[in-house]
C-alpha cells in the first residue's frame, strides 16, 4: 500500500527541560497537521517543554510505499535523506550528490519523496541540505527523525488514549497474530545549542565555568547541574551533595527526560537511534538484556550497547518489561559515559504493577497519565488502599532523598504495612518486592568492600593518590599492606547460582580536591550490577526515580541478592551514586558467570579460588579454559613521581578529558621504552626493555582462552585489538565472521573466546594512537614448554618439560628467524614491497601531505616517484589456501621526516614526549594466520625482530586459511611518526581460485582498490576497497598547516579554535589518501546544498566507484588509522547483512564504530542500485556530521544504467 505523509521542516524553539534551558534556533520535522498546533503551544509555553516538540516519528509497514510531501520552511535548502530505504536516488535522496538532480527543497518549496520500505526496521532520516556541523547547521539543531517500519498488517495506537496515532515517539503496536508491544523511540543526540532561561550559555554552578554541552534524548535533557542548583539554593534536600540524587524523583519530581511507561511483563521494543553528530554513546538499560540482533537467536546478549552517529538498533528486552524476575519500578535508561550521563543524557523505563487509568497521582501529587493495557494481555490489578502499587507504597518524603530499602542494610529497618502488602511472601534482604532466585539453587556469598588507597600505575611512579577500588574482605589486609597488587575485583560463579553480596562502604566521606577535581562529599555509594536478575526497587545499587536509594553510608553494610540464571559474560559492577566523581579512580569490577559445573583455579598454584583477573577454569563437559579480564580506563587522574598532575584539565572539576589512561590499574607508556638507541621500533620488545607492567595473560600453546573485555571508566571509545589471534564476532554462532578487534565503551562487556595456536608473545592493545602511546597494551604469552608457575589444563596433553631457559631482557634487539626456510604445500604468492616517503596529494585544491609514507610494489616505486602513477594505499590480495610471502624493504630517509627532533606537534597525543622517527618499518596484517614469532610484522615481547631498517629486507610468511575478506595492514615500528602519514593498507583474503582484474582494462592486477573478482564458481563481483582513516597532517596549497577539524568547519563561529577540540579529533581525514574537504568547495561556490554536486564541481578526489545496475558489489571497509573518535560509515540507498557470513544477521545501511582496527565486508543486497535497481550517484560517507563530512569523509558509488564506453560490463 501507499502511505502518505506531509512533513514540514520548521524553525522552532526547543525547550529541553523545566528549568527553561532551550535551543532558540531549533529545527524540527513535523507533520503538517501538527504544524500550527506545535507553533501555538510553543508560543504559549516559552519556558517549558511542549510534548509535541519531539523528533518526528512516523510509521509504516514492511512492503509499504511511503510518499512524503516535504515542505521546507527553513531559510536554506533542506531535504530528507532516508536510510535503509530503496528509492530513486535521482529524485528521492534528499541531497544533491554527484550528477543526480537536486532533491532538496528550497525555502518555501516542496518536494515529493517516494521510498519503498522493503523490510521492517528503523529508517533514520536527516537533512543533507545543510551539512554544517555548527549551530548554523541543521542536524545539530534537531532536524532528524525516524520512520519505523513494522511487520506487515500491523497498526498502532496511542498508549494513553488507545486511539490511532499518526506520529509520536511512543506507540502501542498491534498485529492480527503477533503479540502487541510497547514501542518507544529513543533518539540520542548531542552538541545541540542550548541557552539558559536568560538566553545565555549555561554555567556550571559549582565550577562557574561553561556547562557541558547538550547530551540528551528526544530533544530533552535533565542535567545534574540544574538539579543540584535546587539543592544549593535550599529548595529541596539541602543535605544532599548532588550527584547521588541526580535521578531521584523523591527530591525533584520526574525529569523532563523520556519516561518509557509500561506494565510488568509487557513486550516492548526500544527503537534506538543516534540522531546526533559527534559522540559515540553507550545505551544502558537497567534490569534488562536483549539480543544484539533481535532476529538472530544466536547473537550476543547485551545490556549496554554502544551507538555511533546516524546509526540505530532495536532493543527488545528479553522476557518483556521487568525481565525474567518480573521486577517493577523505575529502570533507568542512560548513556553510560559519565560526563554525558551527568550532562543529562538519561531517562527511565517506568514499570507499573497496578493499572493506571488516569485517576492516580505520584507521591508529589502529579497525576499519573492513563496507560492502556495491551489488548492481548491481562490488565494489572487496580490499585487499592492496601495495595496502591508502585510508587505509592514506598514511605518516601517528597523533597527529600529516597528512603533506604527495608531489610537491605545490616541493622536497618523492617517493612511498613504498605510495604508488607506489596512484598513477596517471604521477603529477604535484597529481594523484597521481587524474588529473583528460584527455590533450591546454590547460594554463593561474597563479602566485598570499597576502599581508598594510592595505586601506582607504572614503574616510573605515575600514581593515583586517591585510588578507589573494590576488594574482597578477606584480601583487605593484604591489599592495604601492599602484599597483594591492587587489581580490579573479578568474582567468579557458575550459572544457576543465587549470589549474595555483603557490601561494606569503607570510603572516607570526602573525595579530596586537587588539580583534577574539586572536593566532593562522596558520602554514600552502592553496588550496581549488570546482567544478573534482581529486584530493581531495593537492589539496584542506585537511586533512581521513585525507587529506594539502595546505597549505604560509610561503615554500613548493604545486603544485595541476585540470580545468575544462565552462563553470562562478565557482568560489570560499579557505584551508581558518585560515579562521575570516583569511578575513574578505580571503582569498577566484574563478575563472570561461567557454565554450570565449572571450578576456578589459581593458574599459578592450582588452588581453588573464586576471584581474580586471571583464573583457570575446569569443566567436566566442555574444554577447560584460561579466563582473563581486562578493563580499559580513561580519565585516569594520575600524578608523576614528583607529584605533578599528568594532563590536568584547565580547571578542577572540568570534564574536558582530564588525565590519562589505564588498563587494570596499570599502564606502560611508550615514551619510557625508547632505550639508548632511541628507536621506537623496539618499544614493544621485552628483549630490549623487559616485560610491560600491564597484564601478561599466560597460557600454554594450544590452550583455549576467554578474554573478558570491559571498560571501567569513563567517557571515551577504545579499540581493542589482538595481533595474531581471532574469534567469532558472535560468540555463540558458528556462522559468525571472525574478528580480531572490538570497539568498547564504558560498561560494555565482550567475551572473546579463542585458542592460542602457537607458542609466542601476542600483542593485545587498545590500539588508537593515543591509547597505545600512553601505555594501553600488554601481552598474551603462550609457552611451548612447561613453566613452574603455570598449571597445565588438565584435559590437554602435558606440555613438554622445560628444555631451555626462558628468554630474558638483554637490552639488545633480538635476531629473527626466517619463516620462509620451511617448505610449504600449495600455491605461494610472493610480494616484493618497499616502504618509502612520497608527497601525497589529497585533493585538487592542493591539500597535501609532503611527508607521506607508503607501502608499494617495488616494481611501481619508480613510476610513483616520477609521478607517472598516483600513490594509493597498498592493497594486497590472496586466495584461501595460499601461502603469502611478503618481502618488505625500508627505504625511509631521516631527512624526509617532518619532525626529526622527536616532538610531533600536530595531531597531538596527550602527554607529548620525545619519540624520534624510526627509520625501521614493518607490515602487520590482521585476521590471517601466521607465526607471531616471525611474521606478525612487529617486534613484540620475546618474539624476534620483525622490523626492517633502511636498505634492509625481511620476508613475512602468512597463510590465508579462511575467507576473512578485508584485513587491515599497518606499520608497527613507529606508531607516532609513520601511520598518520599513510603507512597502512589492506589485505583481502578472497575465495579460492579467484583472479583479480582491472575493471577498465580487464587485465590482471596485483593491487588496487577497484577490481573485478573472477571466480569459476561465483558470479563476477566488483570489489571496492575503502580505507577510512584519520589523524592526517595536511598542508594547504600555501604549505600552511591545516588544523582540521577546525579549519574545515563550514559556517564556523568566530570562537572556533583548535583548543576546543579533543586530541583524538585532531587531524584531517578521508578515504584512500584522499579527502574532499567541503570547505574548499564552499570557498569556490558558497551554496551549502550543492557542495556534493559534480555538476557544480568535479567529481570528488575520493574514489568514485563505477558499476552497472545490479552488478554484484562487495565493499571492503578497513580502518587502520588511528584516532580514538569512532566514525559511522553509511552508503546511501543500499543495505547489507551486518555479518556477511550470516544470512540470519540483521540488514542495515551503516557500519558503526569505524575506529583503529575495525574491518567489515559489505555485500550489497541486490547489487549496485539495490533491489529496485535504481541508477545514479550514491554517496558513501561518514555518519558524523561533526566532524567528518565537512572534513572530506565522503565519496560516490556511481551506478550506470546504460553501457559506458570506458567501463566494460561484467560477464553475464
Q: Which of residues 404-443 bind another protein (CB under 8 A)?
A: 438, 441-442
For position 621 contacting another protein by CB under 8 A, the verdict is yes
495 lies in the binding site for another protein (CB under 8 A)? yes
Identified binder of another protein from the candidate list 126, 496, 517, 926, rule CB under 8 A: 496
Q: Does 514 bind another protein (CB under 8 A)?
A: no
CB of 423 to another protein, least distance (A): 24
> Residues 595, 645, 846, 950: which binds another protein (CB under 8 A)?
595
Q: How many residues bind another protein (CB under 8 A)?
A: 23
Stretch that binds another protein, among 469-477, 548-556, 589-597, 1101-1109 (CB under 8 A): 589-597
SS3 177: coil
Q: How far is the CB of 436 from another protein (least distance, A)?
A: 14
**205 touching another protein, by CB under 8 A:** no
Residue from 227, 576, 594, 706 binding another protein (CB under 8 A): 594
Q: Which one among 346, 600, 773, 984 touches another protein, defined by CB under 8 A?
A: 600
Closest approach of Cβ 700 to another protein, in Å? 23
Q: Please state whether beta strands 346-352 and 259-263 pair in parallel, antiparallel, or not at all (unpaired).
A: parallel
Phi then psi dihedrals of residue 479, to 5 deg: -70, -45
* Identified binder of another protein from the candidate list 31, 493, 813, 1043, rule CB under 8 A: 493
Cell numbers 529513543 correspond to 186
What H or E segment, with its residue span, contains residue 1060? none
Interface characters, 1031-1060, with another protein (x: CB under 8 A): ------------------------------
d(Cα 638, Cα 785) in Å, to the nearest integer? 39
**905 counts as binding another protein under rule CB under 8 A:** no
Distance CA 14, CA 36 (A): 15
Shortest CB 1022 distance to another protein, Å: 37
**CB-based contact 786:742 (threshold 8 Å):** no
Instruction: Rounding to the nearest 10 degrees, give the CA dihedral for residues 672, 678, 682, 686.
Output: -50
Selected binder of another protein within 280, 522, 559, 598 (CB under 8 A): 598
- Minimum CB separation from another protein for residue 567, in Å? 8
Separation CA 882–CA 951 (nearest Å): 28
Q: Compute the least distance from the CB of residue 708 to another protein, in Å.
A: 16
Q: Single out the segment in contact with another protein by CB under 8 A; choices: 540-548, 588-596, 1081-1089, 1112-1120.
A: 588-596
Binding flag, residue 596, another protein (CB under 8 A)? yes
**Distance in Å, CB of 732 to another protein, minimum:** 11
Please, are residues 498 and 561 in contact by the beta-carbon 8 Å criterion? yes
Whether the CB-CB separation of 804 and 635 falls below 8 Å is answered with no
In this complex, which beta carbon is closest to another protein, that of residue 301 or of residue 480?
301
Could you say which of 566, 809, 824, 1041 contacts another protein (CB under 8 A)?
566
Least separation in angstroms between CB 326 and another protein: 15
- Cβ-based neighbours of 993, under 8 Å, separated by 6 or more: 879, 1015, 1016, 1017
Distance (Å) of CA 1035 to CA 73, 1039, 1098: 40, 5, 22
Query: What is the DSSP-derived secondary structure letter of residue 380?
Result: P
State yes or no: cis peptide before 1045, omega within 30 of 0.
Answer: yes
Give residue 1063's region: left, alpha or beta (phi > 0; psi -120 to 50). alpha
Whether the Cβ atoms of residue 352 and residue 262 lie closer than 8 Å to each other: yes
Q: Measured from the CB of residue 623, what is the shortest distance to another protein in angstroms?
A: 15
* CA-closest candidate to residue 451, choices 631, 586, 614, 638: 586
From the list 492, 533, 582, 731, which residue makes contact with another protein (rule: CB under 8 A)? 492
Q: Which three-class secondary structure state does DSSP give residue 862?
A: helix
Q: Which three cell numbers stand for residue 145?
A: 527523525
Binding status of residue 791 toward another protein by CB under 8 A: no
3-state secondary structure of 1107: strand
Complex with another protein: residue 438 or 513, whichever CB lies closer: 438
Closer of 438 and 482 to another protein (Cβ): 438
The one segment of 144-152, 425-433, 489-497, 916-924 that binds another protein by CB under 8 A: 489-497
- Cα 620 to Cα 271, 506, 566, 624, distances in angstroms: 41, 39, 17, 8
Distance CA 983, CA 1031 (A): 12
Q: CB-wise, 28 or 592, nearer to another protein?
A: 592
What is the closest distance, in whole angstroms, from the C-beta atom of residue 620 to another protein in the complex?
Answer: 5
**Cα angle for residues 817, 822, 825 (degrees, 5° grid):** 145
The smaller minimum CB distance to another protein, of residues 621 and 1017, is found at 621
Convert residues 519-558 into a mask of x (bound to another protein by CB under 8 A) and - (unbound).
----------------------------------------
State the binding string over 827-866 for another protein (x if CB under 8 A, else -).
----------------------------------------
Task: Tell me: does residue 444 bind another protein (CB under 8 A).
Answer: yes
Answer for the pair 1078, 1084: CB distance below 8 angstroms, yes or no: no
25 vs 599, beta carbon nearer another protein = 599
Greatest alpha-carbon span in the chain? 89
Q: What minimum distance in Å lies between the beta carbon of 618 and another protein?
A: 9
Taking the C-alpha atoms of residue 906 and residue 487, their distance in angstroms, rounded to an integer, is 35
Q: Name which of 357 and 610 has its Cβ closer to another protein.
A: 610
497 lines the binding site for another protein (CB under 8 A):
yes
**Residue 599 makes contact with another protein by CB under 8 A:** yes
Which residue number, 567 or 656, has a Cβ lying nearer to another protein?
Answer: 567
Q: What is the DSSP letter of 1187?
A: I
Query: Which residue's CB is nearer to another protein, number 494 or number 1063?
Result: 494
**Binding status of residue 758 toward another protein by CB under 8 A:** no
Within 8 A by CB and 6+ apart from 726, the residues are 738, 739, 740, 754, 927, 964
The answer to whether 753 contacts another protein (rule: CB under 8 A) is no
End-to-end CA distance of the chain: 34
Q: Of 210, 478, 608, 1057, which one interacts with another protein (CB under 8 A)?
A: 608
User: Is residue 1068 near another protein by the rule CB under 8 A?
Assistant: no
- CA-angle at 1033, arms to 1029 and 1039, nearest 5°: 140
What are the CA-CA distances from residue 389 to residues 12, 422, 1092 (Å)?
Answer: 39, 7, 57
By the rule CB under 8 A, 605 interacts with another protein: no
Determine if 694 is a binding residue for another protein (CB under 8 A): no
The span from the CA of 123 to the CA of 118, in Å, is 11
Question: Which residues make up the interface to another protein (CB under 8 A)?
Answer: 438, 441-442, 444, 492-497, 566-567, 594-600, 608, 610, 620-621
Amino acid at each position: 500500500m501507499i502511505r502518505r505523509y506531509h512533513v514540514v521542516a520548521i524553525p522552532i524553539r526547543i525547550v529541553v527541560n523545566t528549568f527553561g534551558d532551550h535551543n532558540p534556533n531549533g529545527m524540527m520535522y513535523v507533520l503538517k497537521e501538527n504544524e500550527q498546533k506545535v507553533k501555538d503551544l510553543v508560543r504559549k509555553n516559552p519556558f517549558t517543554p511542549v510534548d509535541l516538540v519531539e523528533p518526528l516519528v512516523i510509521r509504516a509497514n514492511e512492503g509499504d510505499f511511503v510518499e512524503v510531501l516535504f515542505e521546507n520552511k527553513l531559510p536554506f535548502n533542506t531535504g530528507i535523506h532516508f536510510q535503509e530505504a530503496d528509492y530513486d536516488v535521482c529524485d528521492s535522496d534528499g541531497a544533491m550528490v554527484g550528477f543526480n538532480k537536486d532533491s532538496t527543497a528550497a525555502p518555501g518549496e516542496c518536494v515529493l519523496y517516494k521510498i519503498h520500505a522493503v523490510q521492517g526496521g528503523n529508517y533514520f532520516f536527516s537533512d543533507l541540505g545543510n551539512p554544517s556541523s555548527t549551530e548554523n547547521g541543521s542536524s545539530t539543531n534537531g532536524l532528524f527523525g525516524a520512520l519505523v517500519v513494522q511487520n506487515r498488517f500491523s497498526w498502532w495506537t496511542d498508549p494513553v488514549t488507545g486511539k490511532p496515532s499518526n506520529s509520536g515517539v511512543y506507540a502501542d503496536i498491534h498485529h492480527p497474530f503477533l503479540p502487541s508491544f510497547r514501542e518507544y523511540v529513543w533518539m540520542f543526540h548531542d552538541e545541540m545549542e542550548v541557552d539558559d532561561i536568560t538566553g545565555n550559555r549555561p554555567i556550571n554552578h559549582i565550577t562557574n565555568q561553561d556547562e557541558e554541552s547538550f547530551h540528551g534524548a528526544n530533544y530533552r535533557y535533565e542535567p545534574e547541574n540544574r538539579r543540584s542548583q535546587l539543592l544549593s539554593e535550599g529548595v529541596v534536600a539541602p543535605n544532599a551533595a548532588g550527584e547521588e540524587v541526580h535521578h531521584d524523583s523523591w527530591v525533584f519530581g520526574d525529569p523532563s527526560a523520556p519516561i518509557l511507561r509500561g506494565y510488568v511483563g509487557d513486550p516492548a521494543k526500544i527503537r534506538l537511534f543516534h540522531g546526533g553528530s559527534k559522540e559515540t554513546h553507550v545505551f544502558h538499560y537497567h534490569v534488562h538484556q536483549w539480543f544484539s540482533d533481535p532476529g538472530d537467536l544466536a547473537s550476543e546478549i547485551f545490556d549496554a550497547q554502544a551507538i555511533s552517529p546516524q546509526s540505530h538498533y532495536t532493543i527488545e528486552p528479553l522476557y518483556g518489561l521487568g525481565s525474567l524476575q518480573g521486577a517493577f519500578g523505575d529502570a533507568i535508561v542512560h548513556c553510560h559515559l559519565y560526563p554525558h550521563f551527568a550532562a543529562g543524557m538519561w531517562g527511565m523505563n517506568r514499570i507499573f504493577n497496578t493499572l493506571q487509568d488516569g485517576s492516580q497521582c505520584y507521591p508529589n501529587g502529579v497525576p499519573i497519565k492513563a496507560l492502556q493495557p495491551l489488548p492481548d494481555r491481562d490488565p494489572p490489578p487496580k490499585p487499592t488502599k492496601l495495595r496502591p502499587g508502585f510508587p505509592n507504597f514506598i514511605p518516601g518524603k517528597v523533597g527529600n532523598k529516597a528512603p533506604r530499602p527495608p531489610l537491605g542494610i545490616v541493622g536497618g529497618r523492617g517493612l511498613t504495612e504498605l510495604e508488607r502488602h506489596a512484598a513477596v511472601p517471604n521477603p529477604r534482604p535484597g529481594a523484597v518486592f521481587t524474588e529473583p532466585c528460584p527455590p533450591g539453587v546454590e547460594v554463593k556469598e561474597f563479602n566485598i568492600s570499597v576502599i581508598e588507597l594510592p595505586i601506582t600505575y607504572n614503574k616510573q611512579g605515575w600514581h593515583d593518590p586517591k585510588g578507589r577500588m573494590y576488594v574482597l574482605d578477606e584480601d583487605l589486609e593484604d591489599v592495604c599492606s601492599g602484599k597483594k597488587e591492587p587489581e580490579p575485583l573479578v568474582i567468579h560463579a557458575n550459572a544457576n547460582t543465587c549470589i549474595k553480596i555483603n557490601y561494606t562502604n569503607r570510603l572516607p566521606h570526602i573525595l579530596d580536591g586537587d588539580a583534577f577535581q574539586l572536593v566532593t562529599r562522596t558520602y554514600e555509594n552502592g553496588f550496581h550490577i549488570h546482567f544478573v536478575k534482581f529486584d530493581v526497587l531495593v537492589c539496584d545499587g542506585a537511586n533512581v526515580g521513585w525507587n529506594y536509594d539502595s546505597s549505604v553510608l560509610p561503615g554500613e553494610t548493604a545486603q544485595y541478592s541476585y540470580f545468575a540464571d544462565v552462563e553470562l559474560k562478565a557482568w560489570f559492577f560499579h557505584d551508581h551514586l558518585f560515579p562521575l566523581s570516583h569511578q575513574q579512580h578505580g571503582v569498577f569490577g566484574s563478575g563472570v558467570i561461567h557454565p554450570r559445573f565449572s571450578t576456578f583455579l589459581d593458574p599459578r598454584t592450582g588452588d581453588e579460588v573464586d576471584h581474580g583477573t586471571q583464573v583457570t577454569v575446569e569443566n567436566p563437559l566442555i574444554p577447560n579454559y584460561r579466563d582473563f579480564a581486562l578493563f580499559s580506563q580513561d580519565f585516569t587522574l594520575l600524578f608523576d613521581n614528583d607529584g605533578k598532575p599528568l594532563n590536568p584539565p584547565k580547571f578542577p572539576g572540568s570534564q574536558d578529558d582530564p588525565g590519562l589512561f589505564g588498563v587494570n590499574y596499570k599502564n606502560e607508556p611508550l615514551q619510557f621504552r625508547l632505550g639508548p638507541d632511541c628507536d621506537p621500533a623496539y618499544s614493544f620488545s621485552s628483549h630490549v626493555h623487559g616485560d610491560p607492567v600491564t597484564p601478561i595473560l599466560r597460557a600454554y600453546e594450544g590452550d583455549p582462552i576467554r578474554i573478558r573485555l570491559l571498560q571501567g571508566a569513563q567517557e571515551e571509545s577504545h579499540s581493542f585489538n589482538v595481533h595474531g589471534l581471532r574469534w567469532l564476532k558472535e560468540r555463540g554462532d558458528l556462522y559468525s565472521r571472525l574478528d580480531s578487534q572490538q570497539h568498547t565503551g564504558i560498561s560494555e562487556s565482550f567475551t572473546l573466546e579463542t585458542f592460542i595456536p602457537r607458542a609466542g608473545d601476542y600483542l593485545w592493545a587498545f590500539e588508537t594512537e593515543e591509547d597505545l602511546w600512553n601505555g594501553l597494551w600488554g601481552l598474551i604469552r603462550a609457552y611451548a614448554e612447561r613453566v613452574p608457575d603455570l598449571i597445565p589444563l588438565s584435559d590437554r596433553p602435558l606440555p613438554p618439560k622445560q628444555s631451555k631457559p626462558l628468554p630474558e631482557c638483554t637490552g639488545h634487539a633480538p635476531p629473527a628467524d626466517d619463516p620462509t626456510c620451511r617448505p610449504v604445500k600449495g600455491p605461494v604468492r610472493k610480494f616484493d614491497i618497499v616502504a618509502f616517503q612520497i608527497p601525497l596529494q589529497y585533493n585538487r585544491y592542493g591539500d597535501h601531505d609532503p611527508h607521506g609514507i607508503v607501502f608499494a610494489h617495488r616494481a611501481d616505486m619508480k613510476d610513483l616517484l616520477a609521478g607517472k602513477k598516483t600513490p594509493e594505499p597498498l592493497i594486497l590480495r590472496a586466495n584461501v589456501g595460499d601461502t603469502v610471502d611478503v618481502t618488505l624493504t625500508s627505504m625511509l630517509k631521516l631527512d624526509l621526516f617532518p619532525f626529526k627532533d622527536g616532538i610531533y606537534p600536530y595531531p597531538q597525543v596527550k602527554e607529548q614526549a620525545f619519540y624520534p622517527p624510526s627509520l625501521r618499518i614493518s607490515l602487520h596484517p590482521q585476521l590471517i594466520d601466521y607465526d607471531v614469532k616471525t611474521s606478525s610484522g612487529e617486534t613484540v615481547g620475546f618474539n624476534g625482530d620483525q622490523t626492517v631498517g633502511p636498505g634492509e629486507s625481511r620476508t613475512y610468511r602468512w597463510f590465508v586459511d579462511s575467507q576473512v575478506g578485508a584485513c587491515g595492514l599497518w606499520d608497527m615500528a613507529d606508531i607516532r611518526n609513520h601511520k598518520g602519514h599513510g603507512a597502512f593498507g589492506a589485505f583481502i583474503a578472497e575465495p579460492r581460485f579467484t583472479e583479480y582484474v582491472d575493471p577498465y582494462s580487464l587485465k590482471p592486477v596485483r593491487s588496487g582498490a577497484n577490481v573485478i573478482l573472477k571466480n569459476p564458481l561465483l558470479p563476477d563481483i566488483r570489489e571496492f576497497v575503502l580505507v577510512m582513516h584519520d589523524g592526517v597532517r595536511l598542508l594547504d596549497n600555501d604549505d600552511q598547516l591545516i588544523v582540521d577539524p577546525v579549519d574545515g568547519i563550514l559556517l564556523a563561529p568566530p570562537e572556533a579554535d583548535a583548543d576546543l577540540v579533543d586530541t583524538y579529533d585532531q587531524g584531517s581525514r578521508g578515504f584512500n589518501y584522499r579527502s574532499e574537504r567541503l570547505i574548499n568547495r564552499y570557498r569556490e561556490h558558497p551554496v551549502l546544498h550543492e557542495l556534493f554536486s559534480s555538476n557544480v564541481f568535479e567529481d570528488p578526489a575520493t574514489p568514485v566507484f563505477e558499476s552497472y545496475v545490479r552488478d554484484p558489489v562487495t565493499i571492503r571497509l578497513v580502518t587502520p588509522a588511528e584516532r580514538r573518535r569512532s566514525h559511522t560509515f553509511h552508503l546511501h540507498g543500499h543495505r547489507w547483512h551486518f555479518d556477511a557470513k550470516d544470512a540470519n544477521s540483521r540488514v542495515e545501511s551503516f557500519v558503526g564504530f569505524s575506529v583503529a582496527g575495525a574491518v567489515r565486508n559489505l555485500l550489497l543486497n541486490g547489487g549496485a542500485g539495490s533491489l529496485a535497481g535504481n541508477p545514479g550517484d550514491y554517496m558513501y560517507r561518514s555518519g558524523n556530521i561533526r566532524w567528518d563530512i565537512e572534513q572530506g569523509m565522503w565519496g560516490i558509488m556511481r551506478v550506470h544504467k546504460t553501457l559506458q564506453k570506458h567501463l566494460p560490463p561484467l560477464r553475464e
